[in-house]
Amino acid sequence: MKTSVRTRFAPSPTGPLHMGNLRTALFNYLFAHHHKGKLIVRVEDTDKERSEKRWEEDMLSNLTWLGLTWDEGPYRQSERTKIYKASLEKLLNEGKAYWCFCSSEQLAQEREEQEKRGEAPRYAGTCRSLSKKEAQEKLKNGVPGVIRFLNPGRKISFEDLVRGTIEFDTSLSGDFVIAKDSENPLYNFTVVVDDHDMKITHVIRGEDHIPNTPRQILMQEALGFESPQYAHLPLLLGEDRTKLSKRQGDMSVTRFRQEGYLPESILNFLALLGWNPGGEQEVFSLKELVEKFSLDRVQKGGAVFDAKRLEWLSGHYIRETPLEELTKLALPYLEKSGVPIESLDSKKLQSIVQLFQERLKALGELPELAGFFFKTELEYETDLLKWKDMSSQKASESLERASNVLNGIVEPWSPESLEKALLETAGEDKGGLLWPLRVALSGRKASPPPFDIASILGKNEAIRRIRHAQHLLTS
Ligand code: GLU
């Protein structure tokens, strides 16, 4: 590539960053980095009613959390009004745009008549014939007006790097509105000015923007700008193959972050939504993705958001993370659920995390799985202590045997020595000894083996929990 690549991620801050936006950001990042180019972040906040600062913050903090760094920006369209104004004036002066004062009633009536005649609705061009003087006069008198682009109405074709040649007949659009007034330009116009001003070489965005592209090309021509190259990414689909939306649950990045999916797994997962690296490899680091990424392996058809795959990848990265680091990452999740982590020594915490590392899919599962370690009083149904059709009496006796074994252990207090001693005592009746013990220690139907739990709890706490269980059985 001759000129250096410059891509941009240009979200509108009208809601939380969602997985679809993030995929767009990622592909822009990968393409720019693959070509040793630059990624620009641009906040498209021209819609004053719907744009909110908190959504911009949500977007930037999530990109940062994921390690998707950008090279320039964030630029904000709301801070660039002067730049747009200059281009709007240029178009107005050159007669390539004009003021339109048609009222909404007039436009509605026009539309209705067109529909009756079986025509596609479009602006009839009524105000095209107003002279500049007449327009100025109306503006002076406070008549509300918008600025329309004088659409030359011809066929536009462009080479999309994903979809090949795309053709549009722009005469079907009529003269479209590009600004609500000279201070308030609209999306299609600001994008054209910014992509030029920011020297964007490649516009990589969702395929829902395909219909905007011919309009943008017309405006680029009118302003004498070179067009960037376009690559429109396939839609993200839910498992029911309909467009991914709220119906498939909350798709905000913040939700996945709060649930404790590791950033690496989210990036790995999204990279494969619409891009096919070829071959069998499924796990890719960001560095590998940068190396391998190319737009010609982006598919045209929609990409299904397979939540199970994300879980699998997240589990994979959790298993790969060194224990010490994983424990650090897990702390905020435990803390949020009310675990008094200050009172725990880090070795103990690490052993707890290790116990669940194999089966975790997201760190947010940890408080639920491991919460029993941190409770002073476990709550469970007394009957859960009984193995099969055991009576309360038998269950309590079994716990007595187990506590005798634990009391008898001198050194080392380790899962291995506990397992050995308990299995020796249990003989053939493993369930009868281990089930009540495990429930007494964890209060749960499912948990890691009692040896592991007891070794972390320590002898005193293990015995205390056994006594409590016996008390429940006999009271
Ligand atoms: N601001 C637009 C959006 O959030 C994207 C514009 C573009 O990529 O051209 O959908």
The DSSP annotation for 102-155 comes to --HHHHHHHHHHHHHTTPPP----GGGG--HHHHHHHHHTT---EEEE-----E
> Is residue 133 flagged as an active site residue?
no
Ligand 1 near 10 CB (within 6 A)? yes
Name 41's bridge partners.
9
In this predicted structure, the answer to whether residue 2 has a pLDDT above a threshold of 80 is no
pLDDT per residue as tens digits for the range 36-72 = 999 999 999 999 999 999 999 999 999 999 999 999 9
The tens digit of pLDDT for each residue in 177-215 reads 999 999 999 999 999 999 999 999 999 999 999 999 999
pLDDT of residue 227: 98
Percent of the chain at pLDDT above 70? 100
- The residue whose CB lies within 8 Å of the most ligand 1 atoms, and thus the one to mutate among 196, 205, 208, is 205
- Most informative mutation of 47, 50, 209, 230 for ligand 1 (most atoms within 8 A of CB): 209
The whole-number pLDDT of residue 245 equals: 78
Quote the ligand 1 centre to 277 CA distance (angstroms).
26
In angstroms, what is the span from residue 118 Cα to ligand 1's centroid?
32
Is residue 418 within 8 A of residue 406, CB to CB? The reply is yes
CA 330/CA 366 separation, integer angstroms: 8
160 CB within 6 A, ligand 1? no
Residue 313 confidence (pLDDT) = 98
- Yes or no: say if 399 and 368 are a contact pair by the CB < 8 Å rule: no
**Model confidence over 147-178: pLDDT tens digits?**
999 999 999 999 999 999 999 999 888 999 99
Residue-wise pLDDT for 111-151, tens only, equals: 999 999 998 899 999 999 999 999 999 999 999 999 999 99
Given a contact cutoff of 8 angstroms between Cβ atoms, the answer to whether 152 and 218 are in contact is yes
Q: Is the pLDDT of residue 286 over 70?
A: yes
Lowest mean pLDDT among 89-103, 154-168, 236-250: 236-250
Q: Give residue 102 CA to ligand 1 midpoint distance, Å.
A: 28
Using a 6 Å cutoff on CB, does residue 11 contact ligand 1?
yes
Tokens representing 303 are: 């990409």
User: What is the CA(213)–ligand 1 centre distance, in A?
Assistant: 11
344: confidence class by pLDDT, cuts 50, 70, 90: confident
209 lines ligand 1 (CB under 6 A): yes
Q: So what's the pLDDT on residue 341?
A: 76
What is the average pLDDT score of the chain?
95
Q: Please give the Cα distance from 344 to 361 (Å, whole number).
A: 24
| pLDDT, tens digit (0-9, with 9 covering 90-100), for 346-363 | 899 999 999 999 999 999
CA atoms within 13 A on the CB side of 224: 4
Q: Which helix (H) or strand (E) holds 262?
A: none
pLDDT at residue 244, as a whole number: 84
* Percent of the residues in the chain that have a pLDDT greater than 90, as a whole number: 92
Tell me the mean pLDDT in the region 424-439: 96
pLDDT band at 22 (very low <50, low <70, confident <90, very high): very high
Q: What CA–CA distance (Å, rounded) separates 146 from 83?
A: 18
User: Which tokens hold the place of 405?
Assistant: 């074994």
Indicate whether 334 pLDDT > 70: yes
Return the pLDDT at 270: 98
Q: 133 — alpha (psi -120 to 50), left (phi > 0) or beta?
A: alpha
- pLDDT reported for residue 3: 80
How many A from CA of 343 to the centre of ligand 1?
48
Ligand 1 atom closest to Cα of residue 206: 8
pLDDT of residue 448: 96
Is 456 in contact with 372 (CB distance < 8 Å)? no
Q: Is the pLDDT of residue 257 over 70?
A: yes
- Please report, for residues 153, 292, 439, the alpha-carbon distance to residue 6 in angstroms, rounded to integers and kept in the order given: 30, 18, 59
Helical (H) or strand (E) element with 213? helix 212-223
Spatial separation of the C-alpha atoms in residues 368 and 377, rounded to whole Å: 15
44 lines ligand 1 (CB under 6 A): yes
pLDDT for res 248: 77
What is the DSSP-derived secondary structure letter of residue 35? T
H/E stretch holding 318: helix 307-320
> Is the pLDDT score of 1 beyond 60?
no
